[in-house]
Structures are given as C-alpha cells and as structure tokens.
Structure 1
Amino acid sequence: MNQESRSQAIAAAIILFGAGLVLYFLPTIVLWIGNFSPVLAIIVGVCLIMAFFAVFWLRARYQRSREK
C-alpha cells in the first residue's frame, strides 16, 4: 500500500465514520426538529442524507481535477 492509497483509505474511513454518526443520530435530530415544524424536519433529514452523497461527489471531483 503506497502513501496515496493509504491517504485515500484514511479519508474514506473518516468520511464514513462521520456519516455513520450523523445517520445514527438522524432519527433523534429529526424528531426533535419535528416538534417545532414537521416540514423543517423533513428538509433537515433530506439535507443530512444528501450531504453523505455530496461529500463523496465532491471528493471524486477533487480527485479527477488532481489527475489532469
């Protein structure tokens, strides 16, 4: 395993750990916000789920720009 692949593996592990924490606490967060506004709870839930995919999309764009 070279330095670049090790760095990528560490970055992916950190991202997955952070996403795991967010997904673990997501029901609690959404229920708490839902006490104030159900629509806002839905928006926050969707944004947190989409953030998981956005991080990997942004990382892929960054990696592609470094290759050129």
Structure 2
Amino acid sequence: MFKTEPFDAARYLVSPQSQAELLDNALASGDAPYIGQALGVIARARGASEATVTSILPPSPSPPRSRR
C-alpha cells in the first residue's frame, strides 16, 4: 500500500513572485472562495499558522438552501 500525504501549496510558494502570481490569478477569476483560499495559502507560505489564517479570513459561504 502507498502512503500519501495531503498536498500543501504553501510549501511551494516560496518566492514573492509565485505568491503574487497565485493572487493575481485568484483575483482575475472573481471567485471569492478561490481568492480567500489563495490568501490563506500565501499567509501560510509566509509563516502564519493555520489558526491565525482561519481567524483572519471569513468562513466560506454556505450554499443556498432550497425552499421546500
């Protein structure tokens, strides 16, 4: 059996240029959850803990509930 580990993009975004490219791409998409995720990844890449990142960013919006 193979052992797998979760992928963390923050480990690979070591340069300010790569972080800026991720943020530019997220902002260009206009997708709020993607922008929030990108900000969190960049914060972790810069040394912020997961607890700090989640306390700064708003929670992801819940999908609208259907009316029945």
With structure 1 as the length reference, what TM-score do the two structures score? 0.31
With structure 2 as the length reference, what TM-score do the two structures score? 0.31
Structure with greater helix share of residues: 1
- Which of these two proteins has the greater Rg computed from alpha carbons? 1
Highest RCO, 1 vs 2 (Cα 8 Å, sep ≥ 6): 2
